[in-house]
Amino acid sequence: KLKENAMKGRIIVFSILGCPFCIKCKGYLDQLGLNYIDVNLDKNSLARQKVIEMTGQKTVPQVFFNERHVGGWDNLSKLSKEELNDLINLVEQNEPPKEAPNPSDWMEADDETEVGKDMLEFHCELDEYAELTKELRDSGIVGDHWKNLKNYKNSFVGKEAVDWLVKYKNLERKAAVEMCQQLVERHFGHNVKRGESEEFKDDDSVYQFIEDVQANALNAGIKTQCEPRPASELGEELRQLILAIYNNHLSPDGKKVDYRSIAKDEKFKLYATKTAELQRVNVEEATREEKLAFFINIYNALVIHAFVVVGPPANLWQRYKFFNTVSYIIGGYTYSLNEIENGVLRSNRKPLGSFKKPFSKTDPRLKIALETCEPKVHFALVCGAKSCPPIKTYSAKEVDSLLKLSAESFLEGDGVEVDMKKREVRISPILKWYKEDFGSNKQEYVQYVRDNMGDCEKKRQIDELLQSGNFKLGYLKYDWSVNSK
């Protein structure tokens, strides 16, 4: 670790939020004990223009030592000890010349509310496996292949990929297979057969790269070049972006959405672009709390995304199709709204009106599902109807306490009615549709409602009815009209 000295010059790192190479770059400079200026391009349109002018690049990070342009993380990490010392001496002993970038000239351009269209074009530098994916796609091995009487377009055969690596990369066959295995584990591609093992096979097995999957997912076909990120990290970044969108386009009570204005919002366009990173996000290692927050936020954002792009369903059949087809590619696999709700958050329980569970025993998505069902998600998931709970975002650190508050708010509000004269408790149909999550009889359903209320008059009335054992259970009408404002 080098001694930290006052410098006459300056080191500048141009970065964007969430870029793993930017994080690596700044961590490396920290280890060296070097002061640097971090210029966040997310919030500075003028700085973005300057970076393009100075470097001709739209990738980050971009590092400068005074006027000397080093490049990205790959360039910085490969500097020899002598080259690095020369650069350090340059900034320690020399004030920056006029041609050196000067962030103070751009600070007035900072605007946290602005997301310029040019921001959508900036991305992380390629990692080595993204480079390999590009080379394999350009090699000629990708084409149409038949498997089990089905033609998979833009696919490749496992052994042909290994043959190419052996021939053109001079690898031993075992090393080539391991490299292909890394492509699968990093979610660049997967076996076209659903439920097949994630072990890469040096045989006639057929694979597709994620960007070539012909799916209806709303984030399909959008290229992503960054390394896979943990669900906790990407989820929090997307949550902050979603929160900014909600703040601008939700009613104060969170029950109405201005879908037309969202469609025109540059922040929504940025969100839609950044959903590409969901394709390769690492959800396998997420904790229960991280999965809860991540999938609740993504579910609600996906509904809004679909309402803006596809339009809301208008009848029973359209609703069935909507919740079974609207989807994102997450961690290499497609998840519909129903699969997020019933497969992941309800621990692989049958959806309403279905005779089978979302994930089979061999489905690789099964390992992502929560170990046990969390009933309170029903007070957090928003289907776009007026009878849905209010829209909120959930952080992993506070997800359980926030779900508790959401349950209390819903059950103490419009989700439950008590008529003491008729000795009747009327509850939201949500508790009927997913009754196995709440109990096995009317006593247990109402007991669950009572236990998840705060101290209020409605709770005291339910206590009286429960103690007597003499009450009726009814269900409120569900308003499916769109929650637009």
Q: Is the pTM of this model over 0.85?
A: no
Return the beta strands (E) in 107-191 as ranges. Answer: 123-124, 143-147, 150-157, 189-191
pLDDT at residue 116 in the model: 44
Domain spans of the chain, in order of start: 11-105, 128-212, 231-400, 404-475
In degrees and rounded to multiples of 5, residue 187 shows phi and psi of: 65, 35
Between 231-249 and 288-309, two packed helices, what is the crossing angle to 10 degrees?
A: 40
* Cis status, amide bond into 313, omega within 30 of 0: no
pLDDT of residue 1 exceeding 60, the answer is: no
Range 210-215, long-range pairs (CB < 8 A, 24+ positions):
210/279, 210/280, 210/329, 210/332, 211/279, 212/137, 212/142, 212/153, 212/154, 212/155, 213/329, 213/334, 214/153, 214/154, 215/327, 215/329, 215/334
The tens digit of pLDDT for each residue in 349-404 reads 999 888 899 999 988 899 999 999 999 999 999 988 888 888 889 999 999 999 99
Amino acid letter, 119: M
pLDDT at residue 224 in the model: 64
Structure token pair of residue 228: 């896979």
Considering only residues 106 and 387, tell me which one the structure prediction assigns the higher pLDDT.
387
Q: What percentage of the chain carries pLDDT values higher than 90?
A: 52
Confidence of residue 156 (pLDDT cuts 50, 70, 90): very high
Structure token pair of residue 447: 């007991």
Domain spanning 11-105 has what CATH number?
3.40.30.10
pLDDT at residue 195 in the model: 60
**What is d(CA 283, CA 294) in angstroms, rounded to the nearest whole number?**
9
List, in sequence order, every residue forming a beta bridge with 336; answer none if it has no partner. Answer: 327
Mean pLDDT of the chain: 87
Asked whether the CA dihedral 429, 430, 434, 436 is positive or negative, the reply is: negative
**What is d(CA 297, CA 155) in angstroms, rounded to the nearest whole number?**
32
Q: By the 8 A CB rule, do 125 and 73 touch?
A: yes
pLDDT of residue 120 exceeding 50, the answer is: no
Confidence of residue 110 (pLDDT cuts 50, 70, 90): very low
- For the segment 212-241, the average pLDDT, to the nearest whole number, is 79
- For the segment 312-334, the average pLDDT, to the nearest whole number, is 90
Considering only residues 310 and 194, tell me which one the structure prediction assigns the higher pLDDT.
310
* C-alpha closest to that of 186 among 275, 280, 108: 280
The tens digit of pLDDT for each residue in 247-256 reads 889 888 888 8
**What is d(CA 206, CA 221) in angstroms, rounded to the nearest whole number?**
19
pLDDT at residue 128 in the model: 73
Domain spanning 128-212 has what CATH number?
1.10.10.10
**What is d(CA 258, CA 391) in angstroms, rounded to the nearest whole number?**
13
